[in-house]
Structure 1
Amino acid sequence: MKITLKSSAVWLPEQFEDAAFISKQNGVPVEVVATKLGIVKKCRAPKDIHPSDMAIRAAKSALKGIDPLSIDLIIWTGSEYKDYNVWSAGIFVQRELGLENAWAFDMAARCSTNVVGLKLAKSLMQTNPQIKRALLCGGHKTGDLVNYQDPKARFLNNLSDGGSAMVLERDGEGPEILESSVITDGAFSLDVIIPGGGTKMRTRDGVKAEDTYLQVPDIEGMRVRLEEKTIPNFMKVIKDAAVASMPERPIDYLALLHMKRSAHDMILDHLELKQEQSIYLDQYGHFGAPDQVLSLGLAERRGLLKKGDHVVLASAGIGYTWSAISLKWTEPCFQQSTLDGFEK
């Protein structure tokens, strides 16, 4: 039995913030924002478009030509910063899309949610014969969580808004989902937080505006620990997933989350990959989990993928979770119409 990627899509807002706008907000030179932080521009959704809306719009595109009653499972792989607190977005998506034969749940692994979600969905589909098709979808409006005036949180300035969706199928013709690898390290678990809104600082007790944004209490300590661990951990999950999946073939394409340019290039260098074997998302920003889906769509659009290619999706989520999963590419599966307003 094999689990395959039947269809995928993104939904991206037309609004954006560019390097000039961000520079004006954070006081960092435009050239530094565009080149070092790697943000030429990033997608931002209107105030009346919420994470569930983005997920539903992406899912509608991914489900084009697919019977909604054939979906057996829905996994929300979007942000925990959702329309409402303590809310099951996946079940709402089920209702809005008329997926009456499916059951749904939300999962979270920060920016690794899509990669971990693929691992989880594959396992569920392999062990439960009743699940023949699964929908993974989610929306992110994490651009709302960026405080440009906080220099400690500057590495989060790339956070953007958008949605993604993937339809998995048992024994289909699309790219096969292969093996995966995940590392978590609790030493980073309190490094990036939103102080307000949880049980430690309840909204009803009064929350200052700055405590509704992502904060980094110990930025220097985090930098030291990340410098020591993040590249080795990226290398381990990528190589472990790749070797377990297609040991006879090197990686042909790496779908990587957005990060500062130097870190992106360092990962490619360590893997001995060329620049054209990955796409740097400096025109889009860092959505979170949708980054890898967007990267696959762009690579397919630009003719970078061919039958038999070894593709690896890799990400890292605050907390910290490093993750990677391999695919064996077979045929196009991305709904390219969702990129028509962004790419020629």
Structure 2
Amino acid sequence: MILRGLGIYLPQQRLTAADIAAASDVPEAIVRGKLGIDGKTIPGPDDHSNAMGIRAARMALADAGIESRQIDVLISITEEHKEYPVWTAGIHAAHALGAEHAYAYDIGQKCGSAVLALKLARDALIANPEMNAALIAGGYRNCDLVDYADPATRFLNNLAAGGGAAVVTRDGPGFEILGAGFRTDGSFAEDVIVPVGGTREPLTAANLHRFHFTVPDPQRMKSRLEALSLDNFVAVIREACERSGVRSEDLAYVAMLHMKRSAHDTVLARIGVAGERSIYLSDYGHIGQIDPLLSLQLARDQGRLRDGDTVVLCAAGIGYVWNALCLRYRAP
């Protein structure tokens, strides 16, 4: 199964490192050096979550040379912070795109959703021989939910906005989808939350000011997560490589989500990959699950990949999940 087309939509509006420093009272040198943000995309007035995913989907379909009516299934990776609550974004996207023969559904795994969706698309085509094409599409703007004044959530100050999409087919040029590795640890499920707006505490005029990301126990989360996260990142990458018949040291490229620069560099060092075989997304920020798709498209379009190269997409999502998926490049 081949990842045949990619599409990325990025809003025109941006925040600079200086803007983030001013809003968060964190020195600009720390924003750039430690948090790894030179600038990031933020949504404009028409940049709604699913709308951005639909724009990216049109780009991916054009990139793949596929018409929307050829899509058999649409897997939406639009974040749950979207145009409307209690709303299936994938159904809306399929209709908007004219994917009249596709069934559609949403998945939610926070920043791990795109990697998971590629695995699900591959599996769907393998399990259903009558199906020939799957579309993954979605948008992300959880930057709306960041309180820059809260020091406990400074690790989320990199959250940005954008849309991403990928077309998966049975054949053609692109990226052959290989093995994957996944890990989940639900003991972190309530460590990063938006405390109001759900059934526990419905949204009211009195609590609207609390509708943003919160870390209820920052020290507990920090002490537990730091001990596990990098190990799990390395583990899923090695699992994906092993299931793909390659060594992590032989990866031509690592498409990794945006995180602080020291963590990014540590993951690369531990899997034996030189820094120039990855792009650090300091000019984009963290667009959630879109990051690995963005990184892969940048690498392809910059001519960093040769026919036969193996790459890995890797991501982590609050909750917590760690995902990795290997691809082998088949040049046009």
TM range (shorter): over 0.9
Q: How does 1:122-271 map to 2 (within 5 A)?
A: 122-203=122-203, 205-247=204-246, 250-271=250-271
Count how many residue pairs are aligned between Structure 1 and Structure 2: 329
Partner of 2:8: 10
1:206 CA drift (Å): 4.1
Distance 1:247 1:58 in 2: 31
TM-score, normalised via structure 1 length: 0.93
Asked if structure 2 preserves the Cα contact closer than 8 Å seen for 1:25 and 1:149, the reply is yes
Distance 1:274 1:131, change over 3 A: same
Partner of 1:30: 28
Residues 188-235 of structure 1, C-alpha deviations (whole Å, 9 max, x = no match): 0001101111000112x4452342111111111111111110111011
1:18 CA drift (Å): 0.6
Distance 1:272 1:176, change over 3 A: same
Distance 1:248 1:229 in 2: 22
Kindly indicate whether residue 85 of structure 2 is the aligned counterpart of residue 85 of structure 1.
Answer: yes
Partner of 2:330: 330
1:47 CA drift (Å): 2.8
Asked if structure 2 preserves the Cα contact closer than 8 Å seen for 1:55 and 1:137, the reply is yes
TM-score, normalised via structure 2 length: 0.97
1:309 CA drift (Å): 0.7
Partner of 1:278: 278
Distance 1:248 1:46, change over 3 A: closer
What is the identity, as a one-letter code, of the residue corresponding to 1:97? L
Distance 1:199 1:248 in 2: 46
1:174 CA drift (Å): 2.1
Asked if structure 2 preserves the Cα contact closer than 8 Å seen for 1:112 and 1:317, the reply is yes
Distance 2:246 2:59 in 1: 34
Residues 34-67 of structure 1, C-alpha deviations (whole Å, 9 max, x = no match): 1110110000111332011101110111111322
Q: Could you list the runs of 5+ residues in structure 2 that have no partner in the other structure?
A: none
Distance 2:209 2:253 in 1: 40
Alignment RMSD: 1.2
What is the identity, as a one-letter code, of the residue corresponding to 1:28? V
Percent of residue pairs bearing the same amino acid type: 44
Distance 1:207 1:307, change over 3 A: farther
Q: How does 1:116-127 map to 2 (within 5 A)?
A: 116-127=116-127
Asked if structure 1 preserves the Cα contact closer than 8 Å seen for 2:241 and 2:247, the reply is no
Distance 2:207 2:36 in 1: 30
Partner of 1:20: 18
Asked if structure 1 preserves the Cα contact closer than 8 Å seen for 2:12 and 2:44, the reply is no
Asked if structure 2 preserves the Cα contact closer than 8 Å seen for 1:72 and 1:130, the reply is no
1:303 CA drift (Å): 1.9
SS of match in other structure, 2:288? coil
Distance 1:291 1:96 in 2: 24
Q: Could you list the runs of 5+ residues in structure 1 that have no partner in the other structure?
A: 333-344
4+ residue runs of structure 1 moved beyond 6 angstroms? none
Asked if structure 1 preserves the Cα contact closer than 8 Å seen for 2:238 and 2:247, the reply is no
1:278 CA drift (Å): 0.4
Distance 2:205 2:130 in 1: 47
Distance 1:230 1:207 in 2: 36
Distance 2:256 2:191 in 1: 22
Asked if structure 1 preserves the Cα contact closer than 8 Å seen for 2:74 and 2:94, the reply is yes
SS of match in other structure, 2:74? strand
Distance 1:318 1:77 in 2: 15
Partner of 2:316: 316
1:298 CA drift (Å): 1.1
Mean CA deviation greater in 151-160 or 117-126: 117-126
Distance 2:325 2:290 in 1: 14
Partner of 1:339: none
Distance 1:161 1:254 in 2: 22
